[in-house]
Structure 1
Amino acid sequence: MPRTADHEERRRQIAGAVSQLITTHGLDAVTVARTAATAGMSVGLVQHYFRTKDEMLLHAFREVSARIRARVEARIRDGVEHKRPIARVMAEVMTEYIPLDEARRTEYRVARAFAGRSLDAPALAAVDTETACKLRDDIARAVHNGKECGEVEEDVDPLPAAIRLTAVMEGLALQVYREPEDAAEATVAPCVTPLLEAELAVVFTGECRQYAR
């Protein structure tokens, strides 16, 4: 049977409850019973949609990934519309993966919980690896596009460049997350954009021929 809008809304509601529990109490707090209570549903209804904790966590992770992807695509569309250099768009895109506000901090906590759980769950590990590789490949594609438009030198290999940029982005995300939330805005957060721009400047050394005047 095709999924109805009500079906999808309930799945999103359950995913939101999982995220809330992880953010407030940690992964160990996520049980079917607690998720049901947080979502305002019966245990039986939650089990109708998700049989196990791992299924709920996987769906919550995919919901988080979809939200980030939607913001990233909006950044890219805006960059194309306003003819911004790829390097500038990439700086904006990469900040979407860094927990600089409450929403992104929640997303990051869910992603960390998912990655931790995947260490002992091969099915989750496959999704975690696929997601990480896709992000790295997206960055490599941006570097390749930079070569075509003149922002990146011809001899730059997109894959090593993408690995480096991904590592910097992930490291910055962890640094921000580890800082107490009430202190991050005054300490680590102001360093994020300058550091990303500095790393991108190592790769994107030229000027876009398409947008140059």
Structure 2
Amino acid sequence: MPARADHDARRGDVSAAVWQVLAEHGFGGLTLRAVAAALGASTGLVTHYFAGKRELIAHALDILEARTTDRPRQAAPGPGLPALRTHLLNILPLTPDGAAMNRIWVGSWDVALSDPALYAAQTARYQRIRDVLRGCAVDAQGLGQLPPGDPDDLATAALSFTHGLVVQALFDPDRFTPARQTRLTDDFLAALARPASAR
């Protein structure tokens, strides 16, 4: 049992080193050597946990998803459209922590697109996000907050809008301040809420 506890503790140290490298250098700087340096250990120790860079990147993506899920978030004031709004705001880089997390996510796209297994994992992650947004859209339609329509399309449009805003805010934070991001999100949702005949 102590050996298992030591192994788990060491793996936690390795995971912390992976996150440190990600936060400082992004996926472009994520190497076995860089993780070993952050850990203050040999590369050989890191290869005990990861056979190669692909496994290291897969683990980094898992850490990123867990940290994204566990970070402080706004609580939805109610179901339907308020919940949809809250989910979108929780994705946006409205705080320094949110901006750092989004920079890492955007940096992960290149590595995920070039590896079939990582590609599949990222596809599943984005489907899970769309499923959550779809549930909000269904609730909003049931409450009369959104007009009838395909909730899958609504979820896809909402996530596409949000990711586009993320990229613009990361590249031009002075222009896309948190207040402006929030206003643009509210404008987007208000447009969704209008009947099709009024758009």
Shift in CA distance, 26/62, structure 1 to aligned 2, threshold 3 Å? closer
Tell me the TM-score normalized by structure 1: 0.77
Offset of residue 36 of structure 1: 1.0
Give the total of aligned pairs: 193
Structure 1: which 5+ residue stretches go unaligned? 207-213
2:121 to 127, 142, 147: 127
Which aligned pairs between 1:185-196 and structure 2 lie closer than 5 A?
A: 186-189=174-177, 190-196=179-185
Give the Cα–Cα distance (whole angstroms) in 2 for the partners of residues 35 and 64 of structure 1.
15
Offset of residue 205 of structure 1: 5.4
Which aligned pairs between 1:56-205 and structure 2 lie closer than 5 A?
A: 56-71=56-71, 75=74, 78-79=75-76, 84-153=78-147, 155-179=148-172, 184=173, 186-189=174-177, 190-204=179-193
Deviations 1:18-64 (A, max 9, x none): 34334433433222121111123332222121111221222222222
Offset of residue 139 of structure 1: 0.8
Offset of residue 204 of structure 1: 4.0
User: RMSD value over aligned CA atoms?
Assistant: 2.7
* Amino acid in structure 2 at the alignment position of 1:61: L
Give the Cα–Cα distance (whole angstroms) in 2 for the partners of residues 167 and 101 of structure 1.
20
Shift in CA distance, 187/37, structure 1 to aligned 2, threshold 3 Å? same
* Amino acid in structure 1 at the alignment position of 2:167: L
Offset of residue 113 of structure 1: 2.5
Give the Cα–Cα distance (whole angstroms) in 2 for the partners of residues 71 and 24 of structure 1.
18
% of aligned pairs identical? 27
Structure 2: which 5+ residue stretches go unaligned? none
What residue is the counterpart of 1:46 in the other structure? Answer: 46
Tell me the TM-score normalized by structure 2: 0.82
Offset of residue 109 of structure 1: 2.5
In 1, are the aligned partners of 2:134 and 2:152 still within 8 Å (CA)? yes
What residue is the counterpart of 1:209 in the other structure? Answer: none
In 2, are the aligned partners of 1:12 and 1:63 still within 8 Å (CA)? no
Moved more, 46-55 or 124-133: 46-55
In 1, are the aligned partners of 2:84 and 2:137 still within 8 Å (CA)? no
Offset of residue 194 of structure 1: 0.9
Shift in CA distance, 145/121, structure 1 to aligned 2, threshold 3 Å? same
Give the Cα–Cα distance (whole angstroms) in 1 for the partners of residues 9 and 149 of structure 2.
45
Offset of residue 86 of structure 1: 2.9
* Amino acid in structure 1 at the alignment position of 2:49: Y
Give the Cα–Cα distance (whole angstroms) in 1 for the partners of residues 48 and 194 of structure 2.
54
Give the Cα–Cα distance (whole angstroms) in 1 for the partners of residues 9 and 83 of structure 2.
32
In 2, are the aligned partners of 1:87 and 1:201 still within 8 Å (CA)? no
Give the Cα–Cα distance (whole angstroms) in 1 for the partners of residues 41 and 35 of structure 2.
8
In 1, are the aligned partners of 2:83 and 2:136 still within 8 Å (CA)? no
Shift in CA distance, 5/171, structure 1 to aligned 2, threshold 3 Å? farther
What residue is the counterpart of 1:30 in the other structure? Answer: 30
